[in-house]
Amino acid sequence: MNTFGRIFRISIFGESHGSVVGVTIDGLPHGIKLNADDFTADLARRRAGTKGTTPRVESDIPEIATGWFNGYTTGAPLTILFRNENTKPGDYDKLKDVPRPGHSDFVAYHKFEGYNDYRGGGHFSGRLTLALVAAGVVAKKVIPEVSIVAKLIEAGGKANIDEAIEDSQKQNDSIGGIVECTATGIPIGLGEPFFDSVESVISHLAFSIPAVKSIEFGSGFTASRMRGSEHNDPIIDSSGNTATNHAGGINGGITNGNPLVFRIAVKPTSSIAKSQQTLNVKTGKTEFLTVQGRHDTCIALRVPVVAEAITAIALADLLLIERVRKNR
């Protein structure tokens, strides 16, 4: 399903090497000041071009195509379009029959019975995160009281991220990383029992980011090794502030007013220049594949701004829903 959200609803579309990647946001309040410039900073953070990212660089100029008039959102669906320019679809012809290990090639071929756009992963590409980042920029404007910051805190198992990338590049290999995201200024009470806990909504979106394989809130996996007396965060004032924050700002699936904290694990990029064993689906024989094309050594480098975006999207939706309850 290409749509997510109940009130602030995003629909994304596009392919890695097709003509367009885009997003439509429905349910967006009217009267939000918005200009193309507002996207510049976050799109730049997502864009490739620095060490460890792919040499494919796109200009990523947003066209605000609908739902916008005289500098403000109108309340009608807002569509943002990006034209793909720097495509080299020829790079992928070879991969048609030889799925890259760890990538979506094999499953996409089976699911769509050979009709999938296999160029650069088609719709399964990380290029679609462009649409998420654009939606995130708009979402952040819906919740100006919330501040969201995500950082790559570890790559290839190391805190020295530059070093880890250099090591990996020398070996024609790739590495993963861990991104931590913290959001402050969130009111008490966001999240919907039973199925739309804050964790449910954020994780749903987080696992739509290609390469994410794990998420933990607050103490996360460590929590499973703590005692209750140690893990429970004592409430210290009537605003709900707690002495510790093992819960990551969430109790019973609902925000408790303390900082929301989660970490996501990003696996190493599947496409590597090193030779790997795979199968030729046409011949049924084992082959060894060296992935050509332009790829990231460490895709995790580009994930923090996407993590911020999905957090903003989740919180914008939950905040708008909560308005139904509180403002009567």
Rank residues 50 and 224 by Cβ distance to its own copies and give the closer one.
224
Please check whether residue 133 is in contact with residue 48, taking contact to mean a CB–CB distance below 8 angstroms: no
CB of 48 to its own copies, least distance (A): 17
Residue 187 Cβ vs its own copies, minimum distance, rounded to whole Å: 9
Q: Which helix (H) or strand (E) holds 161?
A: helix 161-170
Minimum distance from residue 54 beta carbon to its own copies (Å): 14
Kindly state the helix (H) or strand (E) to which residue 105 belongs, with its residue range. Answer: helix 105-111
Smallest gap, in angstroms, from Cβ of residue 237 to its own copies? 7
Residues 6+ apart with CB under 8 A from 198: 190, 191, 250, 253, 254, 255, 260, 314, 318
Residue (137 or 272) nearer to its own copies, CB:
272
Structural contact between residues 118 and 105, judged by C-beta atoms closer than 8 angstroms: yes
- In the complex, minimum distance from the CB of residue 59 to its own copies, in angstroms, rounded to a whole number: 18
Indicate the residue among 100 and 140 with the shorter CB distance to its own copies. Answer: 100
Q: Residue 41 or residue 236: which is nearer to its own copies going by CB?
A: 236
Closer residue to its own copies (CB): 26 or 91: 26
Q: Are 27 and 75 in contact (CB under 8 A)?
A: no
Query: Residue 18's closest CA among 123, 126, 134, 168?
Result: 123
Q: Which of 143, 162, 196 is nearest to 4 (CA)?
A: 196
Least distance in angstroms from the C-beta of 308 to its own copies:
18
Least distance from C-beta 159 to its own copies, angstroms? Answer: 12
- Name the residue type at position 203: S
Q: How far apart are alpha carbons 127 and 271 in whole angstroms?
A: 14
The residue among 42 and 105 lying less far from its own copies, judged by its C-beta, is: 105
Nearer to its own copies, 37 or 225 (CB): 225
Phi, psi (rounded to 5 degrees) for 298: -140, 90
Q: Give the number of other CB atoms < 10 A from CB of residue 322.
A: 19
